[in-house]
Amino acid sequence: MIKNIQQETGQAVTSMDEGTLEVKEGMKLAERAGQSLQEIVKISQKVTEMISRIAASSEQQSTTSKQITQNVEIIHSVTEQMADNTREIASASEGLKQLTKQLKEAVDQFKLDKDG
């Protein structure tokens, strides 16, 4: 009976030692998992920061694109005005040419002959 108790006590001690080893191994795994989670948090923060920078850059590019579009529209409007003004100048020039021709014809009527 004592032998049985000693044997069972020995088995219990062995089981406790094995359990202790498993708990220590579990603690190591938990510690590694904690370190991995901390690394994941750091990387996630960096990714979040990068996304924020990308969003800010995209917003800035959008604003710049809008300004470029507005400037192109202004240039287009000025170009159209210049074309209209050029047509008006051409028309006025043609009118002046006709007036000059008419004035010359009128002045030519007042010319005297060389003899008279």
DSSP string, 64-112: HHHHHHHHHHHHHHHHHHHHHHHHHHHHHHHHHHHHHHHHHHHHHHTPP
- Tell me the pLDDT of the chain averaged across its residues: 92
Give pLDDT, residue 100: 95
Which tens digit of pLDDT belongs to each residue from 37-89?
999 999 999 999 999 999 999 999 999 999 999 999 999 999 999 999 999 99
What whole-number distance in Å separates Cα of residue 69 and Cα of residue 63? 10
φ, ψ for residue 106, nearest 5 deg = -70, -40
Radius of gyration of the chain from Cα atoms?
49
What whole-number distance in Å separates Cα of residue 51 and Cα of residue 47? 6
The CA distances from residue 116 to 71, 104, 108, 110, in Å, are: 69, 21, 15, 13
Give pLDDT, residue 36: 96
pLDDT band at 115 (very low <50, low <70, confident <90, very high): low
Give pLDDT, residue 116: 52
Element (H, E) at 55: helix 2-109
**Is residue 97 predicted with pLDDT exceeding 60?**
yes
Give pLDDT, residue 51: 98
Which tens digit of pLDDT belongs to each residue from 4-38?
888 888 888 888 988 899 999 999 999 999 999 99
Q: Is 115 helix (H, G, I), strand (E, B) or coil?
A: coil
Please give the structure tokens belonging to residue 55: 């969003």
Greater confidence (65 vs 2) lies with: 65
